Amino acid sequence: MVIHIYSFICSIWILGASWRTDDCTSCECTTEAKVICYRQQCDEDIACSGKPLTIKGRCCPVCEDALSAAVCSFDASVYSVGEEWRQDTCTNCSCQPGGRTVCRQLVCPQCVEPVPIEGHCCPLCKGKFYQRIAYTDQGWAAFEGSGTSLAPPAPHSNSLPWIGLCLMSLAIVGLIVVLLILYKRSRGETKSQKQLRQKNAS
């Protein structure tokens, strides 16, 4: 809705410029060198389940229930539905539909000799025994083992890589043996050919 038309102010403004005088009023300098101001009309018949909220920078109030369903307010920050963020090195959060914030705390291995790593939530486990805990598709699971580890073993891990490595080692050893036999034979043939040539020459 146009509320004012000024024909005398525009000389101090650049043609085409626009600005706001308050949250509900915006003005522009037209090509005719006139300032025209518009005031936003708010819907008075707004039906809210919750109370209407006045938000800084917006002219019209917003329903509390509509706002809370579209965003999550958490730790003085606002996030949109589906957005994920890292709260700290051990906590990941996400904004769920309905304005619900869900945070998951990373559970670290239980170590005999934990070695802290800067910038990481979990320490490096050193020692003879440790228990690793991880979140899987089926829920929380514990893995036990020995040695040094930063993460649980991969799901469905098996011994196929080790079998492949053993077979490859055997193949390499077999190839070396065959090459040695061929080398010996070729040397033997070379010697006998040399002796034959010497006999023929004499």
| pLDDT of 147 strictly over 70 | no
Confidence of residue 176 (pLDDT cuts 50, 70, 90): very high
Residue 166's SS3 state is helix
Compute the residue count for the chain. Answer: 202
Residue given tokens 């650049």 in the structure block: 14
Task: Tell me: pLDDT of 26 over 70.
Answer: yes
Q: Identify the band that residue 138 occupies on the pLDDT scale cut at 50, 70 and 90.
A: very low
Q: Which residue reads 């904004």 in tokens?
A: 95
Query: In angstroms, rounded to a whole number, what is the distance separating the alpha carbons of residues 91 and 103?
Result: 7
Confidence at 151, pLDDT banded by 50, 70, 90:
very low
Q: Per-residue pLDDT averaged across 187-200, rounded? A: 72
Q: Contact 36/22 with Cβ under 8 angstroms?
A: no
Q: What pLDDT does residue 154 have?
A: 41
Q: Are 96 and 109 in contact (CB under 8 A)?
A: no
Domain ranges of the chain: 2-39, 52-104, 107-145
Instruction: Please say whether the beta carbons of 23 and 39 come within 8 A.
Output: no
User: In the chain, which ranges are E strands?
Assistant: 2-6, 18-20, 25-29, 35-39, 52-53, 62-63, 71-74, 77-80, 84-88, 91-96, 100-105, 110-115, 124-136, 139-145
162 or 135: which carries more pLDDT confidence? 162
Place of tokens 């509390």: 64
Least confident range from 28-37, 52-61, 105-114: namely 52-61
Taking domain 52-104, whether its CATH number is 2.10.70 is answered by yes
C-alpha 182: how far from chain center: 56
pLDDT in tens, 54-108: 766 778 877 766 665 677 888 877 787 888 888 888 888 998 877 788 998 887 7
138 Cβ contact list (under 8 Å, min separation 6): none
Query: What's the pTM?
Result: 0.32
Tell me the pLDDT band of 114, cut-offs 50, 70 and 90: confident
Residues 6 or more apart whose Cβ sits within 8 Å of residue 40: 1, 24, 25, 26, 59, 60
Please count the other Cβ atoms lying within 10 Å of the Cβ belonging to residue 34. 14
What is the structure's pLDDT at 149? 44
Quickly tell me which residue has 């706002």 as its tokens: 67
- Which residues share a beta bridge with 111? 130
What is the predicted pLDDT for the residue at 78? 78
Note the pLDDT of residue 146.
Answer: 45
